[in-house]
Amino acid sequence: MCKRIFANQTNSERGVPFYKIGTIGKTADCYISFSLFEDYAKRYHYPTEGQILITCAGTIGRCLIFDGAPSYFQDSNIVWIDNNESVIINLFLFHILNNTDWSKLNTSTITRLYNDDLRSVSLAFPLLSEQKKIADFLSLIDERIQCLSETIKERKEKRQPY
């Protein structure tokens, strides 16, 4: 997880996007300075391109594959998985985790996803070459769904009176 960012270190206008559990995978609504980002990214843990980010509090289990673009993530609520891709490729693991039912977790008032919860996920996976084919196919389906969703939204907006 990333080093903690305090509210007084953010702004709503410019800088490096700072994502929270509600904005990950969407448009950032706050930013941190580039100098703070550079400092923290060098001194503290920071994800590498291709790693899976996953939300671990509130709305848990929302996954994203980190694209490597300068951005920063809310501490302990968004973590990344340091996965051994010689066993299971990140894109395949992404699809598994993104479709895991986390609602069965034994939690208190605020739902949390802990390291042990992630470790306890039972995985069955084929050879790496098959994982790639399956993951690529599922990604194409996701892209098509996104495209159709955007088309539906645009058409609904055009029908609504102004």
Tokens describing residue 61: 């289990």
Domain span at 27: 7-122
Domain match, 114 and 42 both: yes
72-111 pLDDT per residue, tens: 998 888 989 988 999 999 999 999 998 888 877 766 677 7
Domain match, 107 and 134 both: no
Domain match, 131 and 116 both: no
- As a whole number of angstroms, the distance between CA 90 and CA 97 comes to 10
Domain match, 118 and 154 both: no
Q: Looking at the domain assignment, is residue 76 inside a domain?
A: yes
Share of residues in the chain with pLDDT > 90 (%): 62
For residue 57, with 0-12 CB atoms within 10 Å meaning exposed, 13-18 middle and 19 or more buried, which class applies? Answer: middle
Domain match, 60 and 100 both: yes
54-76 pLDDT per residue, tens: 998 878 889 999 999 999 998 88
Residues in the chain: 162
Task: Return the pLDDT at 134.
Answer: 95
Domain containing 110 — which CATH number?
A: 3.90.220.20
Domain match, 64 and 80 both: yes
116-150 pLDDT per residue, tens: 888 888 888 899 999 999 999 999 999 999 999 99
> Over 90: is that where the pLDDT of 14 sits?
yes
Specify the pTM. 0.80
Domain match, 154 and 99 both: no
Q: Looking at the domain assignment, is residue 140 inside a domain?
A: yes
**Based on the structure, what is the number of domains in the chain?**
2
What is the DSSP secondary structure assignment for residue 24, as one 8-state letter? T
Domain match, 78 and 156 both: no
The one-letter amino acid code at 86 reads S
CA triplet 123, 3, 118: central angle to 5 degrees?
15
- As a whole number of angstroms, the distance between CA 81 and CA 54 comes to 8
Task: Return the pLDDT at 10.
Answer: 96
Domain match, 32 and 67 both: yes
Q: Looking at the domain assignment, is residue 1 inside a domain?
A: no
Task: Return the pLDDT at 47.
Answer: 93
Domain match, 46 and 109 both: yes
Domain match, 67 and 144 both: no
